[in-house]
Structure 1
């Protein structure tokens, strides 16, 4: 394992290979060192391990580009700023709610950033927030939505690995998610706004355009809510298709020839790079499973004893997740970590571990939420996003650790 890590570090940091190529090089080297040669079947099979996430990523990018090119984002931003009177707290609540809602129903922060983040950018710019602060807010609210019920992909991966039924989880997940989201809104509302307008906008003008601009968001959220209320009577169209449908709502408002531009932009730039990262990580995880490295990590995680298991999880999961994404660290480390707390309520374990895993959304080299927020804003860097987002992230980490620590007393109260 140490040799494989060294190969990855040399390829990515020294030779400056793109992250997906470095992951595949490490996977192939691991297979060769393990005596498996070049296992083509596992390389191909692993590449499809996260195909559902790749499709959701591209669908979110398509939705965002359609909103931007149709003018929906500008219309919605102008109306929201007028409705809030330019005051930061109500405005951040209004633009944070769609990010949180999309994260709730998709369970992936990156998709929420791409789809709902495009509405936050023009609104926050209108009241003076700089690009780095805007990107940090978008990433924080999307990550908060990701760990909220009803869909939390990291938590669902841990629950699946521990054979825990996905029921009665809402209160535990909200205990982790809501303090994080509220801390994010209050923290960013206090930030300096060097480009703030001298007078707040007011008046009813533009409210009709605002409703038209927000219509696609309303459509996708209504579809998700309706599917869940209907239960088994309706087939769930899945997040990628729902986002495509939402994007097509604004097709009549699109300038002539802009549809081709939206489709072309969907499959280029940061979304394409992160899709390649997800494919290559799938290959790496498959090879880790083949060679026994994954089993070694599982055994090592399960053998952690109090009090060392708390700091090990708090720092180890985000660092590993920064390289392998929050989803992979939930699956590889989160499952045995949940078993290491087997004596307490598993629902609380899963909720807390998913919150710790969400910190990886801000940790390089992948830092999916932070990287996509920078892409949506069109500037800034992952480092700048982390420097502005760390106080809400500290609240998230504290909430997750406290739930783990006091799980015996919280059992029966929030589960």
Structure 2
């Protein structure tokens, strides 16, 4: 057995032992795997490499942190609740459109934070009661929340797996918006209509509005949405007019949106809001630091190169089969880990295609790993919100999950033909 393979088995085994048997957090389990891998490879305790690995994804950590603060600000200001009411009020006569708009609302927190957990816990908890009142059963509602949060996680502007894959091959995270929207929007629309439409043909609008809070719109009006418009405007202008407007960077844009949100809705304590946001996002940040250490030690010990060479040696058919099965399955460990450990070698094995399309499709498939048990972050939180068991919710996720995997593979195969999206 090659030493690199042995080291990888030890690292993965240590992680699984720590996470599943000892019930340690994912981040701590990854650190444990990294340390044991270095020891087995004869590198001792490489403190410098562990420290460097912690800060590999510092840019991503800043984006997630500030995006979560922004999300908490607009949530506490009442903007999310007001948006929910507006969607129901405007589109209740067209159930299909109403379902799609609610699905986009579920996706929104994931789109700006890159976290399916953030989407489920914020927008999911607001949208779920409406879906239930529309007549959609709890397990099906949970499935819509789970898939919707993952589509949000994979959608632009913040897709962390895509950032990790791009960073692994020194490719700038630019031009991903079109491909990621092409991948996620059809998946989201298919899911919500496939699961929910059959239950929404005879909506009881009077019953739904009894359970909605119309006070926010009446009290604050359009200014509630100014923080969201501020962030979207700055994102667009810095891309459309790069010579006139300097690139502010995503963290600064989110902080400016948060400051605007302080004065547009309900009064809130900014310090306590920041604390709440960081309490929610610390597990995600810890995962990124753990993944950084894990990848750094894999690089140091030659494991990463071994995986790349092994992937390059696969036949075309086996390569696509591995992408469709192994990448989502690795999501049981971490979708971020799947992007870093497997996404990079798979991208290098598909150099003949359009690299941005390939990276986007791989990140899309990685994100679906958030449904994989036992961790299944998106699925478990969605099941908790609707008070159902996870495996009941998972049952209704299977067809949308499979459809998304197939769509992602098709985009990989025909990546050159999709170059117009970049």
Q: Distance in 2 between matches of 1:105 and 1:75?
A: 19
2:405 corresponds, among 388, 397, 400, to: 397
Q: Equivalent of 2:272, from 261, 279, 295?
A: 261
Deviations 1:145-179 (A, max 9, x none): 55456765544554565677878766655543333
Deviation at 1:190, TM superposition (A): 2.9
Q: Aligned residue pairs: how many?
A: 409
C-alpha contact (below 8 Å) 2:142/2:393 kept by paired residues: yes
The corresponding residue for 1:75 is 82
Q: Answer whether contact 1:30 1:287 (CA < 8 A) is retained.
A: yes
Deviations 1:54-78 (A, max 9, x none): 2333323322322332222222222
Instruction: Give the TM-score normalised by structure 2.
Output: 0.79
CA contact (8 A) 1:220 1:243 kept: yes
Deviations 1:172-223 (A, max 9, x none): 5554333312212312423658xx85636689x9578564443332222122
- Residue 8 of structure 1 pairs with residue 19 of structure 2: no
> Which structure 2 segments of 5+ residues have no match?
1-7
- Cα distance 1:19–1:167, how it changes in 2: closer, same or farther (>3 A)? closer
* RMSD of aligned Cα (Å): 3.8
Q: Name the CA distance, whole Å, in 2 between partners of 1:164 and 1:11.
A: 33
Alignment of 1:124-163 (within 5 A): 124=131, 127=134, 133-134=140-141, 136-148=143-155, 152-155=159-162, 157-158=164-165
1:221 has 2:232 as partner: yes
Q: Distance in 2 between matches of 1:207 and 1:38?
A: 61
How much does 1:13 deviate?
Answer: 2.0
Out of 228, 236, 247, the residue aligned to residue 247 of structure 2 is 236
Over 3 Å counting, the alpha-carbon distance change for 1:164 and 1:72 in structure 2 is closer
Question: Relative to 1, partners in 2 of residues 1:381 and 1:387: Cα closer, same or farther, differing over 3 Å?
Answer: same
Q: Which 10-residue stretch deviates more, 358-367 or 150-159?
A: 150-159
- Measured against aligned partners, the alpha-carbon deviations of 1:218-239 in whole angstroms (never above 9, x if no partner) come to 2221221122111243223333
Aligned pair partner of 2:55 in 48, 73, 83: 48
Q: Deviation at 1:370?
A: 4.8
- For structure 1, which segment, 169-178 or 75-84, has the greater mean C-alpha deviation from structure 2 after superposition? 169-178
Of 53, 61, 64, the match for 2:68: 61
- Between 1:306-315 and 1:103-112, the stretch displaced more is 103-112
Whether contact under 8 Å (1:179, 1:395) holds in the other structure is: no
- State how far apart, in whole Å, the 2-side matches of 1:250 and 1:172 are: 30
Q: Does 1:281 find its partner at 2:291? A: yes
1:344-382 per-residue CA deviation (whole Å, 9 max, x = no partner) reads: 55455334323322222333566555567679x596676
8 Å Cα contact 2:150/2:378 also seen in 1: yes
Task: For 1:304 and 1:342, locate their aligned partners in 2 and report how far apart those are by CA, in whole Å.
Answer: 14
